[in-house]
Chains A and B, each alone.
Chain A
Amino acid sequence: MLTIENLTASYGAITALHGISLEVGEGELVALLGSNGAGKSTTLKSICGLLRPGQGAIRFLGEDITGKAPEVILKKGISMVPEGREIFGGLTVEENLRLGAFTSYQRDRYRADLDEMFALFPILKERFTQAGGLLSGGEQQMLAIARALMSHPKLLMLDEPSLGLSPTMTDSIFELISALRDRGTTILLVEQNAERALEIVDRAYLLDTGSIEFSGTPDELKRRVDIASVYFGGEDDGTCEVRL
């Protein structure tokens, strides 16, 4: 469904991706793991057009989408939940959801989609007319995911959905991701919480300083790679916040 070949990307003089290749098949739940600065978010931003890639090709459903504008890529069916719950805090929950749907807005379908989101996230119905900024962290993350789903994506990309959430809320988010996969949504998941992500994904890619270090099923990954060393850059690095 999504194929990336030898993608490079840079921020000014700093190269963030040194030619990575990866693939996401239809209906798969694939994780992109790696430490801070490995290039995970850069990869997602390049796919959805927020960042113009240097070289390489991104193909989606057989079509080249490299360097296309974000709104064009979104219309083709790739929707992203940005890192850090970037919802529109000054707009109401309703307006946030409407914006998720605006690229393909149809009144009847919008109503039906809203009901579906209320079934998935009952809290959003309760908070429908409130400003998004007044929601709790977990609720904002749900709103961000619901907003991304409103455009009926064929591929959903989640950038660190568990970042800064309580353990209970993290559990519900991971349950939700599994549920979405079971409904048939293809998902590309970027996570810091590698242990939790490996419990639910079909395959995983491990990024380290802009290159793919490993790819395979969670079992293979656990067997062959010392995840902690890739994540935290060896034993003498004491700055890790997440323990595996």
Chain B
Amino acid sequence: MTRGIQAPGWLAKRSTVWILLVPMVAVAGLLQLFASSLVVDIYTQFCVNLMIVLALQAFMGNSGILAWTHVGWMGIGAYASGILSMAPMVKSLGVPNMYPALVEIQVPILLAIVLGGVVAALVAALIGWPLMRLSDAVGVITLFATLIVMHVVMTQWDNVTNGPRTFFGLQKFTTLWIAVIGAAIVLYVVHWYRESSPGLRLRASRDDRYAAMAVGINVVQVRYIGFVFSALLAGMAGGLWAHLITSFSPKAFYILEMFVLLAMLVIGGQGSVSGAFLGTAIVTAARQFLLQVEAGINNSGALTLEVFGLTDIVMAIFMVVVLIWRPNGIVGGREFTWPLFRRRMKPAADGATGSQQT
């Protein structure tokens, strides 16, 4: 094995985290110093999205199960943290029908965000066990149905979510640096989980369920751990999101938003933390660029008709192209590790079969 600079053990073991973290923090610093507030807002949004996509990767990437539910955990985290953090006065104004017991509660925002994650994890723990027994198409359909159930509950439970109407009045808590710190923590934790024993066992069950059982892995159990863990992270990310956006409705936690999150994960490569990171960065940048183009075309009046949905169409085509070109996403399930471009032992042989790696 040829190595460039030998990194100390603790650094080498988590080199992926550092390779992703350093540019993320550096860009945040540069934007804070030189960029307009609009760009800072976009970057803050990116960091919050990154947390949710990483949470999604922790379950979906390691288990191989297409998890539609995650935007729902984000929603539960958003509503729960909002209800816990808002002042009673504001709550009774915003949600007139709210249960009196809920109106009374108020805790510090950070605690509310953590508790929001705990609530999401508890719901996941309650419904997860039977769902984790199902695999393949059946598993995907039931998770999709679960998302629909969560959406119906959010739109109908007047006394908690204000029904389909907007839930407003949250304080703005999530600044650029809070989002960056949150994303850094989630990045570390998700990478740690991937390499940990439960994470490794979950990845083994993804590769081959029967072989996993033959080496003594309780597939339902490791999936369940991953599901609840990932719901906890997604719920907390939802809390940070809620305290960035400050007003939202159940529409924000449904199929369209889930599709954007899935696009971020799948384009980057769901098999690795690096893929989740890269996918979120690329999709966020591309979406912002396309939105500007769309607005530019409409404002300039160059065309006699208004352009609608350009962003969504181009994003969908982009996703199709990437998936034809690289079915496992841009990084193809690999992690960035230090040294960055290590020579393989047999470069030719690796190159020939590398694209078939799952």
Q: Which residues of A are interface residues toward B (Cβ below 8 A)?
A: 48-50, 69-71, 74-75, 79-82, 86-91, 95, 98-100, 102-103, 105, 126, 129-131, 133-134, 144, 147-148, 151
A82: which of B201, B204, B210, B333 is its contact (CB, 8 Å)? B210
Complex contact A134–B350 (CB within 8 A): yes
Say whether B216 faces chain A, with CB atoms less than 8 Å apart: yes
Residue of B nearest to A127 (CB): B345
Q: Tell me the bound Cα distance from A70 to B219 in angstroms.
A: 10
Q: Which residues of B contact A89 (CB under 8 A)?
A: 207-208, 357-358
Residue of A nearest to B354 (CB): A134
Q: Which residues of B contact A102 (CB under 8 A)?
A: 197, 200-201, 215-217
Complex contact B214–A86 (CB within 8 A): yes
Contact with A along B189-212 (1 / 0, CB 8 A): 000000001001101101110111
Complex contact A147–B357 (CB within 8 A): no
A90-B216 in contact given A98-B200, A133-B357 (Cβ < 8 Å) = no
| A–B pairs, 20, beta carbons within 8 Å | A70-B214, A74-B216, A86-B208, A87-B208, A88-B208, A89-B207, A89-B208, A90-B203, A91-B207, A95-B200, A99-B200, A99-B212, A99-B215, A102-B216, A103-B216, A129-B1, A133-B353, A133-B358, A134-B357, A151-B216
CB contact list, B260-299 vs A, under 8 A: 271
Complex contact A88–B211 (CB within 8 A): yes
A71-B357 in contact given A91-B203, A102-B201 (Cβ < 8 Å) = no
Extra inter-chain contacts (20) besides given A50-B213, A70-B216, A99-B215, CB under 8 Å: A49-B213, A71-B217, A80-B214, A82-B214, A87-B211, A88-B207, A88-B212, A89-B358, A91-B200, A91-B203, A95-B204, A99-B200, A99-B217, A103-B216, A129-B1, A130-B345, A133-B356, A133-B358, A134-B349, A147-B215
Q: Tell me the bound Cα distance from A213 to B34 in angstroms.
A: 83
B197, B204, B349, B358: residue with the most chain A Cβ atoms closer than 10 Å = B204
Q: Which residues of B contact A49 (CB under 8 A)?
A: 213
Q: Which residues of B are interface residues toward A (Cβ below 8 A)?
A: 1, 197, 200-201, 203-204, 206-208, 210-218, 271, 333, 345, 349-350, 353, 356-358
Q: Tell me the bound Cα distance from A144 to B211 in angstroms.
A: 9
Complex contact A99–B201 (CB within 8 A): yes
A134: which of B201, B208, B218, B353 is its contact (CB, 8 Å)? B353
**How far, in Å, is B156 (CB) from chain A's closest CB?**
40
